[in-house]
Structure 1
Amino acid sequence: MEIREALKRIREHKPRKFTQTIELIVTLRNIDLRKPENRIVKEVVLPYGRGKKAKVCLLSRRSGYTKERLENMNKKELKRLAKEYEFFLADAELMPVVGKVLGKYLASKGKMPTPIPPTLSEEEIKDMIAKKEKSVRVKIRTQPQVQVPVGTEEMKDEEIEANVKSFLRELLATLPKGRSQIGSIYLKGTMTPAFKVEVRL
């Protein structure tokens, strides 16, 4: 079915008292994940955002993070920080200590921070944060499947459709053999079944 028909069915399926997230599920084929070169961790910026902003942690002197503060955080605090935020930005000068104290909690989740060059202005840093808030992470390591949020049921159909197509183009550009490695594509709400869709790019 078409993307918009799937969205219609999602909205009609047992209305909930909360705003459901619309999720895109893509199954892959003919990809050997035993080979490290086929494992993918990548961030994709959605043109219309996720409907709900991703949580971004700014590890910077601007937000009160110093080398000393990071070094004095205990294991519980570090784990909570890694779990609470989806994306991280860090001052370039703090990257060595971030890697030392937070690396083992972030690396396995594909959440290592993006460095902030010291020459960036405050406006440029705000732009970096805004892009992260609209981003989703592709993580293909052990299972040949990707599942990411592409909006909420309150967003317009054309916005969600644009997000889906933009994400798929980025995914295709990353896969070694492109379209031939895409198996099936589904859309689902938080509490709905998954609906198989056909997408023309």
Structure 2
Amino acid sequence: MAFDRQKIVEAVKEAKARAKPRNFTQTVEVAVNLKDIDLKKPENRFKLEVVLPHGRGKEPKIAVIADGAVAEAAKKLGLDVISGEELEELGSNPRAARKIAKKYDFFIAAAPLMPKIGRYLGRYLGPRNKMPVVVPPTVTDLTPFVERLKKTVRIQLKNNPVVHAPVGTEDMDDEKLAENIETVLNAIIGKLERGENQVKSAYVKTTMGPAVKIEG
């Protein structure tokens, strides 16, 4: 199924129009239904990081797991820091570990701590597709990593033939949201063996609003 930019714009407009006003800014999401794909075969599953051309519309929550230079760089940017010592404490506190995994959208980690992260947090981050972006222990400026993550969405195709992704917020321009959606659709299609022929349908919705089909 091929998607026309104007058809995407029309779906965005309708999804916004049909969304009831809420006391918070709703996220705009895209859902893509796939067909003729056997997810029992590991090679048909995938994880993707897509950089949205117009960003996510709101700041993601980012935590940095590090000591030393990387921790100092994180503090300069006002980011939450989890030290190596605090990381070890999470190993004996599953409830706190789960809470941290849920709280943050992304994690950045200093390379030397990755073995401990795998041991103490891996079981909570892995299923949520939140394993950290790894940086060298000598990094003194995390700005490039943070700026990229502010525009990044992670997509995972695992057990069901449907892929969901946030593509912005309802207060963003329709055309910009449509371009973000198009970027996500192209990334997903690019991972499919038979490309757009394996796309059954795609929908746009706000957090609390009804789904609107993107006409092919």
Consecutive unaligned residues of structure 1, counting only runs of 5 or more, are none
Pick from 83, 96, 112 the counterpart of residue 93 of structure 1.
112
Question: For 1:141 and 1:53, how far apart are their aligned partners in 2?
Answer: 27
Q: Would you say the 8 A contact 2:32–2:203 is kept in 1?
A: yes
Residue number in structure 1 paired with 2:17: 12
Question: For 1:148 and 1:81, how far apart are their aligned partners in 2?
Answer: 21
Question: For 2:19 and 2:102, how far apart are their aligned partners in 1?
Answer: 31
1:21 Cα offset (Å): 1.6
CA deviations over 1:52-97 (Å, ceiling 9, x no partner): 2222221122154332221122222211111111221100011111
Q: Any idea what SS the aligned residue of 1:118 has?
A: coil
**May I ask how many residue pairs the two structures share in their alignment?**
197
Identity of aligned residues (%): 41
Counterparts in 2 of 1:7-86, with a 5 A limit? Answer: 7-13=12-18, 15-17=20-22, 18-61=24-67, 62=71, 63=74, 64-73=81-90, 74-86=93-105
Counterparts in 2 of 1:127-146, with a 5 A limit? Answer: 127-146=144-163
Q: Any idea what SS the aligned residue of 2:127 has?
A: helix
CA deviations over 1:101-151 (Å, ceiling 9, x no partner): 1111111222211211234340xx211112112211111110000111111
Residue number in structure 1 paired with 2:215: 198
In the alignment, residue 68 of structure 1 is paired with which amino acid?
E
Consecutive unaligned residues of structure 2, counting only runs of 5 or more, are 1-5, 75-80
Q: Would you say the 8 A contact 2:19–2:210 is kept in 1?
A: no
TM-score by length of 1: 0.90
Task: State whether structure 2 residue 197 is matched by structure 1 residue 180.
Answer: yes
Question: For 1:69 and 1:7, how far apart are their aligned partners in 2?
Answer: 43
In the alignment, residue 38 of structure 1 is paired with which amino acid?
N
Change over 3 Å in CA distance of 1:171–1:14 after alignment to 2: closer
1:98 Cα offset (Å): 0.8
Question: For 2:17 and 2:185, how far apart are their aligned partners in 1?
Answer: 25
Q: Which region of structure 1 is more displaced relative to structure 2, 70-79 or 156-165?
A: 70-79
Q: Any idea what SS the aligned residue of 1:139 has?
A: strand
Question: For 1:187 and 1:119, how far apart are their aligned partners in 2?
Answer: 42
Q: Would you say the 8 A contact 2:34–2:162 is kept in 1?
A: yes
TM-score by length of 2: 0.84
1:14 Cα offset (Å): 5.2
Question: For 2:147 and 2:153, how far apart are their aligned partners in 1?
Answer: 13
Query: What value does the CA root-mean-square deviation take over the aligned residues?
Result: 1.8
Residue number in structure 1 paired with 2:77: none
